[in-house]
Structure 1
Amino acid sequence: MEYKKIFLIVVGILMNFPAGFSQNRENKIRKNVPLDSIRLSDPAILADDATSTYYMTGTGGMLWKSKDLKMWTGPFNVVQTDPNSWMGDNPMIWAAEIHQYNDKYYYFATFTNRDVIIDTVKGNEIERRASHILVSDKPDGPYVPMEDLTYLPPEKPTLDGTFWEDTDGKPYMIYCHEWLQNWDGTMEKIELKPDLSGSIGKGEILFRASDSPWSKEYDEEDNEVPNKVTDGPWLFRTKTGKLGMIWTSWDHSVYAQGVAYSKSGTLDGPWEHEKELITPPDYGHGMMFHTFEGKLLMSVHSHREDENGRYIRIPHLFNVDDSGDKIVINHLRND
């Protein structure tokens, strides 16, 4: 079954790169590193006007800096979590993003305490995992905890939280309820406090993995059924004002990224999913940003297996055309 393969992939990544998810990782700062020489899952890039610098985060809790998107310096440790919190002494850090909002910089990431088991579903132990937000006065940190100890229910594994300010003027976190527990991953929203220091109310479902026309797998009887994975949301508006969301799952054995658009123009949708993938196969977990020259780019990672059976993920950049109601990916940037 496809979900078993996905679960084994996740386990394999953790076994091969355990230090890569730790905020206490010993690292040596490197300079003038080409983008395609960096091994990084879930790359997210902030173009900071105040410092004229690009800051790239992702899985692992580390930070890279660049002036031109070509050569990078890093990785820097920028995260300071509380060892007395639910995260424990040394949480894994996944899918970090930096968002500038008002006069602060906010670090959205998934933190996992592997020493705490919150559930067991179909024989799989579910670790304490949740989307959370840290804050800093500077884009390169340090990022520290805020008021709320938790943003989302502790009994619910959540991941890949991202930021969006909706048409009501309120800030929200968009995140995934992990498929390992609910067996049909969901995309959800929760309102945030005005300074993003905590959440307000309860999460609401925007759509489920099974709503997608492209995310499929085979069950034990070889019947084609909806895939269970929701991953990597990123929201945007086109120049015509259309609200969209790119997100990642699996098209059978292929790592894949699709896009959905909101009919109402708000987070409440309803969300209509495009039938075709938005990026080539084995590219995913994307986000978008404007360069200092005004070009719109999409940052993704490639997903492939090397000769030793290890999964390698490398950041890549695509050009994006958002002039119409729907975004168009033109070509892979190699320059």
Structure 2
Amino acid sequence: MPVKCNYIQKEKKIKWTRGSGEFLSLSVVAVMVTYVIIMITGFLQLSAATSQITKAVSTAGRSAAVCTSLEDAQKQVQRVAETAILSENISGIQTSVDYAGGSTSWEPGAYLKVTVSASVHTIEPFISRWILAAGSEQHTLSGNYAKSVIVSVENGDDLIGDTNAEQIFNYLTTHGMTPEGAAGMMGNLQAESGLNPAAVQGHSHDATYCQDYLARVDSGEITRAEFVSENRGFGLAQWTSRGRRGALYDHVQRSNASIGDLEAQLEYLVQELQTSYRMVWNVLSTTHSVRAASDIVLHSYEAPADQSAAVELLRFSYALMFFNEFN
């Protein structure tokens, strides 16, 4: 008689605890990797922010050195720092200018201490408490950072340089533009006026006409109303519209200078950029590309009728010439 074999299949129990160690390990590793990535990101943000503060204090220091008084330097340094620092991770920008090295009065050779400070914000894990330097009270990446530089007053109130080109380059770079930004602006000014603050559209090469025109404006023979309504280019940037010519006229009058004064026109040009053409100013004060500076001035500041590729190339060639000569 055959023997029956009954196989009873046992129910296999799943051990849910099996592999939980591996899962826990992976979770810990994932958290650590995320933490490291966040910390690296924080350090990169900090590095970029402090680099901007360092560049800002350097530019602000050059600007302070050519001002005419301590009060003027304090105002100018704040303006320059605010335009030089563009990071969204930086806020609360503050500046100071004080005499240093025993200097007590504003005169050529006097030493100044220029300081730029700001709050830097970075992305950090909630458990971050890192000591960045031995003995430092700074325990997190975010916080207040300050950079200082010592400069000396270069002159009283004169432009620096032997030629219009050198004076313009020095003025623009000490008032907030990078060398590339200044060169880009100058390439356009060369195309517009030949760097001649007395240039009158249609008569730029007639020195006698231009000087007579300046004398008539300065004396009041040509009134403000007549000056602003002429609808032709004048000066370094060949200012043409009523609003821009009127603002230039008023600035020169407040400065008690001639309408063709180079320094007065440079002051107005920088002021106009910082207020009415802030996008252009932001590029000129930060760029390291002569071409980018030249193109944005052409298209967004001067905006002549002809903005073709040929015009771009010509103005860039002028800009590159100035950059190679003075940088």
TM range (shorter): under 0.3
Identify the structure with the greater strand proportion: 1
Identify the structure with the greater helix proportion: 2
TM-score normalised to structure 1 length: 0.27
TM-score normalised to structure 2 length: 0.27
